Chain A
Amino acid sequence: MTREVALNELHPEELLAKASRGVLGAGEAADLRAHCVRCPACALQIELRGELEGALAPTALDYELGARAVERLFASGELGPARTAQRDRGPRRAPPLATRVALVLALVLGTSVVASAFVLGARGRLWDTPERDSEEPHRPAGHARRAGHAHAQGREVEPSALEEAPQAAAPPAPAPTPAASAPSAVAPPAVAPLRALVPAAATARARPAYGTGAVATDDAARAKPDAAALFGAAERAREDGDFVEARRLYGQLASRYRGTREELSARVLGGQMLLDDLDQPAAALSAFDRYLRDEPGGTLAEEAIVGRAQALRRLGRADAEAAAWSDLLARHPRSVHAELARERLAALVAGP
């Protein structure tokens, strides 16, 4: 880190704000980079951007914490809007039955309320800043390192949502069919061949009723199923078209069983779901990237690369898409997607 820093040097707040919104011009990006070389404080803000989206997105732990805190909050029956300073921080007490019932209803109904935000067009990220909501699809060079930064779709949720926020933001209403939301008529039927590659053991085990874990106050929900059971439940939810539940279960899998065979597979399957069923290419891209980062030669690497390319296409990142297709041809020249890769490369070279 260079130490030549003028003591009175101002920090480029305007450029940092533009970087947050993803609207830096090329010259501005160069200026900001030059400043960040000298100023680790501003570099830190750039570094953390994107990570904070994940850090501030609720995880399974947060759902449990939140549910318990709400329970305690209402346990005494004293809380009202006017209450301020008096805090009951004594030992936990079981809330009255009526409160428990209300809480359960609230949590269930609450999911619907949040989901309605998306149906109503609230852009899918209720707790993100509007600056992010207005981000442009393309992030300037130098700031594209974190795939999660670019949100091409207004409804997009944070890219790490599948991994970190199982219920962080309910996705939009599912597309009628994957085919209907496919970006191109030549797009391969990704889901079917993909599932054929999934470890058989992961899908063959018993599948619990996938809807039982939604309410954190439910004792059954607190019992952690094993990775295979979670994976199977997620797959079943997905097959049933309940993508919200499938995503939540994939999120639980990521939170509790990181690095297991099932969790790794779920990154690709979940990515495909985000891409095909939930129309969230940035989040899908992040999922594929996470798989390829940890399993570059994995069983699903080929499908992950294809998924990356398709997600990048949706995001309008032509150069990166071309690189992904080229990567596929280089690493998997006999891929069943090779023809598609060549077609896309030819189209990208020809330009719009």
Chain B
Amino acid sequence: MSSKMPPEPTFLAAFAPPANDGPDPLRALARAAAAGQREAMVRLMSLVAPPVAAAVRALLGPGHRELEDAVQEALLAITSALDRFRGDSSFLHYARRIAVRTALAQRRAEARGTRRLAEALASEAPAAGDASVAPSIEREQRVALLARLLDELPEGQAECLAYRVLLELPLPQIAREIGVPINTVRSRVRLARNHLRDRILGDPALAESLGLEE
């Protein structure tokens, strides 16, 4: 690794495997890929591609017209971030977090032209009490609704809440990840939660679609 590496993102402390865990099986591969070994890069990307695709799909929706492009975009972002990976966590955790960030950016870029939440609810949410809706479909819809709610938030709040809720990162870790003081993260998450709370309380249909009715 070069000494000119950008500041290391040490946000992954909480992702670090416990001492009694085995080594990250992808770490050596990641290092080899970062060093320019093409075969290692191919193998590494092949390994992380499915969970990366899953994260992108969850946030963009399985029917997104540019889903494959977005997955490729995420993989590109991961390759670009290879030299910043120092093994503080498993590489798969690292890759998936980058995928979430990439997908959120994609959503935000599209936000101006996207349908409003109410329209999305009307067209995609399952009918109340529709027992035929498969759980995985319901789950996808709920995650999609959450993603759309994230679209309504300022970027910093959306990012913090996504890491908090989707990846369940602790606040200090998020702070290290995005390079802001922890109190800023705390504030952003609180404001984001307040927004969600008010939106859901003000929209019984939304609450029902999210499975939060009583």
Residues of A at the B interface (CB closer than 8 Å) are: 1, 3, 5, 10-11, 13, 17, 20, 39-45, 47-49, 51-52, 54-59, 61-63, 65-70, 72-74, 79-84, 87, 89, 99, 102-103, 105-107, 109-110, 113-114, 116-117, 119-123, 126-127, 129-134, 160, 163-165, 167-168, 258-259, 290
Contact across chains for A40 and B58 when beta carbons are under 8 A apart: no
Q: Which of A44, A51, A59, A99 has the most CB atoms of chain B within a 10 A radius of its CB?
A: A44
C-alpha gap A11/B195 in the complex (Å): 12
Q: Which of A52, A81, A113 contacts B143 (CB 8 A)?
A: A52
Contact across chains for B197 and A126 when beta carbons are under 8 A apart: no
Known A106-B46, A121-B21; judge A126-B212 contact (CB<8 A).
Answer: no
- A164: chain B residues within 8 A (beta carbon): 136
Closest Cβ of chain A to B136, distance in Å, is 6
Contact across chains for B41 and A79 when beta carbons are under 8 A apart: yes
- B76: chain A residues within 8 A (beta carbon): 73, 79, 83, 87
C-alpha gap A345/B63 in the complex (Å): 49
15 contacts between A and B (CB under 8 A): A41-B195, A42-B197, A43-B212, A51-B142, A51-B143, A52-B143, A61-B62, A62-B50, A69-B49, A70-B42, A83-B80, A113-B26, A126-B25, A132-B168, A259-B134
C-alpha gap A122/B17 in the complex (Å): 8
Task: Across the interface, name the chain A residue whose C-beta is closest to B168.
Answer: A20
C-alpha gap A56/B103 in the complex (Å): 13
- B105: chain A residues within 8 A (beta carbon): none
Q: Which of A1, A62, A79, A120 contacts B51 (CB 8 A)?
A: A62
Q: How many residues of B contact A (CB 8 A)?
A: 87
Contact across chains for B18 and A54 when beta carbons are under 8 A apart: no
Closest Cβ of chain A to B49, distance in Å, is 3
Contact across chains for A129 and B15 when beta carbons are under 8 A apart: yes
Q: A1-B207, A52-B165 are in contact. List 10 more A-B contacts (CB 8 A).
A: A47-B211, A48-B165, A55-B58, A55-B139, A61-B62, A62-B53, A79-B76, A89-B72, A122-B17, A131-B168
C-alpha gap A96/B17 in the complex (Å): 38
Task: Across the interface, name the chain A residue whose C-beta is closest to B74.
Answer: A69
Closest Cβ of chain A to B211, distance in Å, is 6
Per the 8 Å Cβ criterion, residues 37-89 of B in contact with A are 38-39, 41-43, 45-47, 49-55, 57-58, 62, 67-69, 71-73, 75-76, 79-80, 82-83, 89
Contact across chains for B35 and A81 when beta carbons are under 8 A apart: yes
- A17: chain B residues within 8 A (beta carbon): 168, 170
Contact across chains for A126 and B71 when beta carbons are under 8 A apart: no
Contact across chains for B201 and A13 when beta carbons are under 8 A apart: no
| Interface SS of A by simple majority | helix
Q: Tell me if B14 counts as interface (CB < 8 A to partner A).
A: yes
- B170: chain A residues within 8 A (beta carbon): 17, 131
Known A41-B194, A131-B168; judge A81-B36 contact (CB<8 A).
Answer: yes
Known A114-B47, A129-B14; judge A290-B213 contact (CB<8 A).
Answer: no
- A129: chain B residues within 8 A (beta carbon): 14-15, 93, 167-169
Contact across chains for A56 and B166 when beta carbons are under 8 A apart: yes
In the A-B complex, list the 6 residue pairs whose CB atoms are closest, starting with the nearest. Answer: A66-B49, A120-B22, A58-B50, A41-B196, A106-B43, A62-B53
Q: Tell me if B193 counts as interface (CB < 8 A to partner A).
A: yes
- B104: chain A residues within 8 A (beta carbon): none
Task: Across the interface, name the chain B residue whose C-beta is closest to A57.
Answer: B54
- B192: chain A residues within 8 A (beta carbon): 41
Q: Which of B35, B51, B143 contacts A168 (CB 8 A)?
A: B51
Contact across chains for A102 and B169 when beta carbons are under 8 A apart: no
Contact across chains for B212 and A40 when beta carbons are under 8 A apart: yes
Q: Tell me if B119 counts as interface (CB < 8 A to partner A).
A: no
Q: Tell me if B90 counts as interface (CB < 8 A to partner A).
A: yes
C-alpha gap A131/B18 in the complex (Å): 10
- B46: chain A residues within 8 A (beta carbon): 66-67, 70, 103, 106-107, 110
Closest Cβ of chain B to A105, distance in Å, is 8
Contact across chains for B38 and A41 when beta carbons are under 8 A apart: no
Q: Which of B38, B197, B207 has the most CB atoms of chain A within a 10 A radius of its CB?
A: B197
C-alpha gap A113/B93 in the complex (Å): 16
Closest Cβ of chain A to B117, distance in Å, is 14
C-alpha gap A165/B47 in the complex (Å): 14
Contact across chains for A168 and B201 when beta carbons are under 8 A apart: no
Known A40-B212, A62-B53; judge A13-B75 contact (CB<8 A).
Answer: no
Q: Which of B34, B166, B168, B186 has the most CB atoms of chain A within a 10 A radius of its CB?
A: B168
Contact across chains for B17 and A72 when beta carbons are under 8 A apart: no
Q: Tell me if B210 counts as interface (CB < 8 A to partner A).
A: yes
